[in-house]
Chain A
């Protein structure tokens, strides 16, 4: 794998993780107010733009690598999203959730290495 491919995989992963946090925040706000609240529209837009960037980078990578090889890199997103949701969004994190997230990520990485 070239440096460019690795770089693109990382950019795609990061924009995906941030998008999830932004969207969750938007939907949290949506519970107390109308969906037309400008803050919600702004956050959902940012989330959609980030997911779109991640999508097109992945599409470019798919033309060069097997799906079953590329896809598992997204597996790392489980750990990143679980931890950042706890830190940034102050969600409750139990030991059980951490163990589950690590097992899922480990499994996905194993799939990608095989």
Chain B
């Protein structure tokens, strides 16, 4: 992680941005895909009919933005660190489904979310220590 830029070019900030874009895009995709769903049509298994929804297009723009930040992150951070940390989105998405899409979260599901948070903390701790030393 040598020669790491700071400010907006900080790879950790970019990782956060990338995660946020993915989070919003997932919710938009679910909303958009549901809006135009044709469960009886075999063609719809390809997912391409999802393009009829403007929300899906908005999600695609966010995915491209997250992709660009992600490439930037990969330039500076090992995949073994960056990828597990990017899964903070797996906590954010169920929470978003609960808050914005009205999906229900059972006790077991909350336990799963808690386990992800613990795993993230385990992975992130050495990163935090490394940052302090710099």
Chain A nearest Cβ from B131, distance in angstroms: 16
> Is the pair B26, A107 in contact by a Cβ cutoff of 8 Å?
no
Among B26, B93, B119, the one with the most A-chain Cβ atoms within 10 Å of its Cβ is B119
**Interface check A104, CB cutoff 8 A:** yes
Contact with A along B76-108 (1 / 0, CB 8 A): 001111011001001001100100010101111
Q: In the complex the two chains form, what is the Cα distance from A91 to B44 in whole Å?
A: 40
Chain A interface size, as a band, is 35 or more
**Interface check B65, CB cutoff 8 A:** no
Q: In the complex the two chains form, what is the Cα distance from A31 to B117 in whole Å?
A: 32
The interface residues of chain B lying within 8 Å CB-to-CB of A72 are: 90, 112
Q: Besides the contacts A60-B44, A104-B115, what 12 more A-B pairs have beta carbons closer than 8 Å?
A: A20-B83, A48-B67, A63-B33, A63-B34, A63-B39, A68-B109, A71-B94, A85-B79, A94-B126, A101-B123, A103-B122, A111-B116
Which residues of B does A touch, CB under 8 Å?
26-27, 29-30, 33-34, 37-39, 44-50, 56, 63, 67, 70-71, 74-75, 78-81, 83-84, 87, 90, 93-94, 97, 101, 103, 105-109, 111-123, 125-126
